[in-house]
């Protein structure tokens, strides 16, 4: 399994960071997790085969996590040298289908009927979603009413993504033992808010979850000028911490990187 942190920014415009987007590939699956503003161009900048995306998974409906979904579908419809025939599977929180239907009313029927099959699913927390011989599971997060975290377990390893979240021991338990945990870390501790994490909250979550590598993303400008990874370590976390950059690759499996 290969992970690329395509978009590591927030809703605040940043010339070096697109909004939230991860790329995950394994076997025949090409998975986009969240698709915020600038994600489509970020996929192209990273040299990723965006035209081969098989699944689009959404953590919640804030614009910095979903804005480029119509752009991606439009590019799959018009931007490929060979017309696409493979299906696109879109899944997210309950409410995903109504969201896409409202967009289609505003933008055009092509969004749900772009010339290739599109399926749209809303996932309940107890559901298990198959990804070839891997599985996707989800867990609610304290951010918005619909927010979910994502966990992919495959024979070669596992990946967790918090999406946006406030502190939650139950979430840490859900993500326990993953090889790579991609977590938001939005704000410094002195600006802590109920619906986001800080370095000390990330340290608590990671100490409980014990991932192989903690990859930190979604850092707001108020925190970005600091050494975020060092702040998490100083808050008590003793594992490996990496501050995500747009386009950075990580391997999950025999050659974990």
Per-residue pLDDT at 254? 59
Would you name the residues annotated as active-site residues? Answer: 64
Tokens of 77: 């419809």
Domains of the chain with bracketed CATH = 2-251 (3.60.15.10)
Pairing of strands 248-251, 2-7: antiparallel
Q: Listing from the earlier edge strand, what are the strands of the sheet with 21-26? A: 118-123, 88-93, 55-57, 29-33, 21-26, 2-7, 248-251
Name the packing angle between helices 69-78 and 96-107 (round to 10°): 60
In order along its 257 residues, the chain shows pLDDT tens digits of 999 999 999 999 999 999 999 999 999 999 999 999 999 999 999 999 999 999 999 999 999 999 999 999 999 999 999 999 999 999 999 999 999 999 999 999 999 999 999 999 999 888 899 999 999 999 999 999 999 999 999 999 999 999 999 999 999 999 999 999 999 999 999 999 999 999 999 999 999 999 999 999 999 999 988 999 999 999 999 999 999 999 999 999 854 33
Per-residue pLDDT at 171? 98
Per-residue pLDDT at 126? 81
Q: Would you list the DSSP string of 100-139?
A: HHHHHHHH-GGGT-SSS-EEEEEE-TT-EEEETTEEEEEE
Report d(CA 51, CA 185) in Å as an integer.
30
Tokens of 200: 């000390």
Per-residue pLDDT at 125? 84
Per-residue pLDDT at 225? 86
Per-residue pLDDT at 257? 38
Pairing of strands 29-33, 248-251: unpaired
Per-residue pLDDT at 152? 98
Instruction: List b or e across 60-78, with b for residues whose CB sees 16 or more CB atoms inside 10 angstroms.
Output: bbbebbbbbbbbbbbbbbe
- The number of residues making up the chain comes to 257
């Amino acid at each position: 399994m290969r992970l690329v942190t395509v978009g590591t920014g927030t809703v605040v415009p940043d010339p070096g960071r697109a909004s939230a987007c991860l790329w995950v590939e394994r076997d025949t699956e090409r998975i986009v997790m969240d698709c915020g503003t600038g994600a489509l161009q970020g996929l192209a900048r990273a040299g990723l085969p965006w035209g081969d995306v098989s699944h689009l998974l959404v953590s919640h409906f804030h614009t910095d996590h979903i804005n480029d979904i119509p752009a991606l579908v439009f590019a799959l419809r018009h931007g490929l040298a060979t017309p696409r025939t493979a299906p696109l599977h879109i899944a997210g929180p309950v409410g995903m289908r109504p969201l896409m239907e409202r967009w289609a009313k505003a933008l055009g029927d092509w969004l749900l009927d772009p010339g290739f099959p599109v399926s749209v699913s809303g996932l309940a927390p107890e559901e298990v979603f198959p990804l070839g011989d891997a599985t996707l599971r989800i867990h609610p997060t304290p951010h918005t009413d619909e927010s979910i975290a994502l966990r992919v377990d495959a024979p070669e390893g596992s990946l967790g993504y918090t999406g946006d979240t406030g502190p939650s021991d139950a979430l840490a338990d859900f993500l326990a033992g993953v090889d790579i945990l991609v977590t938001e870390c939005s704000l410094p501790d002195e600006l802590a808010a109920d619906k986001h994490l800080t370095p000390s909250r990330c340290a608590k979550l990671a100490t409980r979850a014990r991932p192989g590598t903690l990859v930190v993303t979604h850092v707001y400008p108020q925190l970005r000028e600091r050494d975020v990874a060092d702040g998490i370590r100083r808050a008590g976390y003793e594992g490996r911490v990496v501050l995500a950059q747009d386009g950075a690759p990580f391997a999950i499996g025999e050659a974990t990187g």
